[in-house]
Structure 1
Amino acid sequence: MRASLGWDLGGANLKLARAEDGRVVSVAQIPCPPIADPEKFNQALNEALETAPTNGRHAVTMTGELSDVFPSRAAGVAYLTGLMQKTTGADTLFYSLRDGLIGADQVRDAWQTVASANWHASATLAAKQQEDGLFVDVGTTTTDLIPFKDGSANAVGKTDGERMTEGELIYAGVVRTPVMAIAQEAPFMGRLQGIAGERFATMSDVYRLTGELPVDADPYETTDGRGKDLDESATRLARMLGRDADEADFIAWKALAHFLGRRQLDRIEADAKVLIARESLRAEAPVIGAGCGRFVAQHLAKRLDRPYRDFAEIIDCADDAREMAATCAPAVAVALLV
């Protein structure tokens, strides 16, 4: 039996996928402690190792180097590379968007191709399985839009900055993104009004009210430190309008949430159309959805009048691991690519 373990080291959580003979058998996600110290990665890694079998070849991708616990992205890559090499062995491999999987000794000179390359691993695997399509990974904080054609990922941008310029990365997701990043005005009670430039509520509150947020998608503390039921989410959303929740009935707050969800989808759709036209993707090329917010990718496919396929559908995967496999696509991708 050939076993491989894929790791995706993010600033908010760590994801781990195990594959045996090319089949994904288990996937887990471990939140990083909310502390301003690189040790948060060590703690999450130790927690993962307590519950996961570690025999097999390890492959790593990351976005955690962007965390503000590091003085620079280069320092973040160096820290995370050293941590994994020390913990999972000297033969641990790291994903480079230029060279594929490389050894730790090569990372120092190629750190810019290793930094935040997890999207490329996922899109590369999708292209191997599907040939043509648009890979859409909607996570807690970002949305990746990667066209692939003739079996290869066709991203123009290589760094996060370049990808944001090209419309291949939108720095907004379905959980941690502040509502004020999605819209500055909203209709409410028959009038258009401004939205506060404060982090009173996040998109997790929005999608709880629309009923679309998966129950395990938001392990983070709320903006006001209170709970996560519908009334508490409505209270936080009301603050975005400078109001209390009892100023309107619950239906009004749900309507506001649906409006904000549509505004987020509008932006994703606009960038997706540009990328589809740029690559001349055929009409039947599907949207491949991944991430905890892939319900947004499903809505996008309908707007674009394209087929939708879940990331877990295009890989060989145990039934009880499918939900997490689609949520943790980069970890799954490097586990299978190794």
Structure 2
Amino acid sequence: MRSPLAAALPHPARTIGWDLGGVHVKAALVEGGVVRAVVQAPCPLWRGLPALDDTFAGLPDWARGEAAHAVTMTGELTDCFADRTDGVAQLAGWAAGHLSGAVAIYAGRAGFVAAAEAEANAAAIASANWHATAALLGRHVPDALLVDVGSTTSDLIPIVGGRAAAAGYGDAERLETGELVYTGVVRTPLLALADHAPFQGRRTRLMAETFSHAADVYRITGDLPEGADQQASGDGKGKSVTESETRLARMIGRDRGEGTDEAWRALARHFAEAQLRLLHDAAAGLLSRPDMPAAAPLIACGAGAFLVEALAQRLGRRCLAFTAVLAERIAGRPDWASTCGPALAVALLSAEPAPTKEAR
């Protein structure tokens, strides 16, 4: 399907890719076929579209300027919408009304559609951002397992023969196939990772509370990328290692003073291992598919790319960084490039035609 962007601007000099999520807005500026700037900003979309207005107003000037706009989304599932179709329609309408220039909505395997056609194509548009990333990477790496570990969820997408080869498409299907693992390195409550933990020689049950989240774990272990956590902490307080240890201690009914720094690091590593195990089990199943070559690498993407590196080592696979695969398309080392993979992907996909079958 030919993109409405291409129809409006056959050779757009300036394209902005958007990923409208439930807790973040991500945007990527492409000029001359190269990513020039990337931004991520928090957006509490569950409060309604005015939250999106507020986030948009605070973005850099380039994000609000005239351009061809390519939009993907995951925010259609948030509480402020009646259902996914309503969410897709409202977010597409918001994009058409607020973005300056031609607007096209990414509909996965169907390509791009006009904003006015979004509601009729809601099933293809809803949470299809993973498809954009895999489709773009497939032009560069013919066979791989894309593992995009974000703040909230993880996408594991087989790329076979240069194309996204997921067995599922919508969220429900991908939860069943293991291609969507609802775990991330910032917002996941620790209670979702385990119900027991070892501490001081005993195996203790956890508090059924959301005192602490994955961001606390990776701050304590030293793995969390700077700036990756743009959300409020579990207690609304600060984000130092000490404050993270305090929240972690509450998960086992204790105060921070009841353990040493090393004890809290060991406890944090327990939860990190539990999360890695979830990804390992999903990846192992997908890599066992008959159409996945034994030498297929993992491609690490997202705020949790550091977890993908550990996963690849555990699986005995090569690991390619998203930014390394697209190095020639990214100017310098813009912030958020890997974290905002789908925004980069829709911008680059919309700015150039798909290669022919013969060119693959």
Are 1:6 and 1:335, in contact at CA under 8 Å, matched by a contact in 2?
A: yes
- Distance in 2 (CA, whole Å) between partners of 1:279 and 1:72 is 36
Aligned to 2:19: 8
Q: Deviations over 1:60-119 (max 9, x none)?
A: 000011111212111111111001011125731110123111111321211111011101
Structure 2 unaligned residues grouped into runs of 5+:
1-11, 351-360
Hey, what's the Cα distance between the residues in 2 that align with 1:173 and 1:242? 24
Give CA deviations for 1:123-178 in whole Å, capped at 9, x if unaligned: 11111111110001101100000011100011111111110011000111000110
Corresponding position: 1:281 with 2:292: yes
- How high is the TM-score relative to the length of structure 1? 0.96
Report the Cα offset of residue 278 of structure 1: 1.6
d(CA) in 2 for partners of 1:111, 1:49: 29
- 2:341 paired with 1:326: no
The answer to which of 294-303 and 81-90 deviates more is: 81-90
Partner Cα separation in structure 2 for residue 41 and residue 53 of structure 1:
13
Aligned residue-pair number: 337
1:307-318 matched pairs, under 5 angstroms? 307-315=318-326, 316-318=329-331
Identity %: 43
Contact 2:187–2:214 (CA<8 Å) still a contact in 1?
A: yes
- Report if the CA contact (8 A) 1:65-1:80 is conserved: yes
CA contact (8 A) 2:64 2:100 kept: no
**2:160 — aligned with what?**
149
1:20 equivalent among 25, 31, 36? 31
| Aligned with 1:201 (options 209, 212, 216) | 212
Question: 2 CA distance for matches of 1:279 and 1:246?
Answer: 52
Amino acid at match of 1:236: R
- Deviation of 1:279 (Å): 4.4
Whichever residue aligns with residue 340 of structure 2, its letter is C
Q: TM-score when scaled to structure 2?
A: 0.90
Deviations along 1:218-252, one digit per CA (max 9) or x if unpaired, are: 11111111111111100100010011111111100
Contact 1:60 1:95 in 2 (8 A): yes
RMSD: 1.5
Of 33, 41, 48 in structure 2, the residue corresponding to residue 37 of structure 1 is 48
2:159/2:165 contact within 8 Å kept: yes
CA separation in 1, counterparts of 2:301 and 2:70? 20
- Quote the Cα distance in structure 2 between the aligned partners of 1:279 and 1:25: 39
TM-aligned CA distance change 1:170 to 1:82, over 3 Å: same
Q: Displacement, 1:38?
A: 2.3
Instruction: Read off the aligned partner of 2:333 and give its amino acid letter.
Output: D
**Pairing partner for 1:263 from 270, 274, 278:** 274
- Give the Å deviation of 1:282: 2.0
